[in-house]
Amino acid sequence: MGIYSLEISNLNKKFSVGGRDLPVLEDINLKIQTGEFVSIVGSSGCGKTTLLRIILGLETGYEGEAVLNGKKITGPSAKRGVVFQEHRLLPWLTVEENVAFGLINMKNRDEKKELTDKYMKLVGLKGFEKVFPSQLSGGMAQRAAIARALINNPEILLLDEPLGALDALTRMYMQKELEHIWEKEKLTTIMVTHDIEEAVYLSDRIILMSSRPGKIKKIINVPLSRPRDRDEIYFMRIKDDLLSEFHLQAEKHFFYSI
Ligand X SMILES: Nc1ncnc2c1ncn2[C@@H]1O[C@H](COP(=O)(O)OP(=O)(O)OP(=O)(O)O)[C@@H](O)[C@H]1O
Give the footprint of other proteins on this chain (CB under 8 A): 56-58, 75-78, 80, 82, 84, 86-94, 101-102, 104, 132-141, 152, 165
Chain residues 81-120 in contact with Mg ion, contact rule CB under 5 A: 85
Q: Which of 12, 33, 34, 49 binds ligand X (CB under 6 A)?
A: 49
Provide the strand spans (E) within 34-155.
37-42, 63-68, 71-72, 80-83
Is residue 13 a contact point for ligand X (CB under 6 A)?
A: no
* Contact status, residue 160 vs residue 84, Cβ threshold 8 Å: yes
- Mark residues 74-103: x for contact with ligand X by CB under 6 A, - for none: -----------x------------------
Give the ranges where 79-124 is alpha helix by DSSP (H).
95-99, 109-122
What does 50 bind: ligand X, Mg ion, other proteins, none (CB cut-off 5 to 8 Å by kind)? ligand X
Interface region with ligand X, contact rule CB under 6 A, candidates 45-53, 64-72, 101-109, 113-121: 45-53
Q: How far is the CB of 123 from ligand X (least distance, A)?
A: 23
Is residue 15 a contact point for ligand X (CB under 6 A)?
A: yes
Nearer to other proteins, 30 or 141 (CB): 141
Nearer to other proteins, 140 or 178 (CB): 140
Is residue 47 a contact point for ligand X (CB under 6 A)?
A: yes
**171-186 residues labelled b (16+ CB within 10 A) or e (exposed):** bbebbebbbebbeeee
Is residue 20 a contact point for ligand X (CB under 6 A)?
A: no
- Whole-number CA gyration radius for the chain: 19
* Contact status, residue 89 vs residue 145, Cβ threshold 8 Å: yes
* Contact status, residue 205 vs residue 38, Cβ threshold 8 Å: yes
By beta carbon distance, the residue nearest Mg ion is: 49
Q: Which of 43, 49, 69, 249 binds Mg ion (CB under 5 A)?
A: 49
**79-116 residues labelled b (16+ CB within 10 A) or e (exposed):** ebbbbbeebebeeeebbbbbbbbbbeeeeeeeeeeebb
Q: How far is the CB of 170 from ligand X (least distance, A)?
A: 21
* Contact status, residue 40 vs residue 207, Cβ threshold 8 Å: yes
Tell me the three state secondary structure of residue 201: helix
Q: How far is the CB of 85 from Mg ion (least distance, A)?
A: 5
In the complex, the residues that contact ligand X under the rule CB under 6 A are 15, 17, 22, 24, 44-50, 85
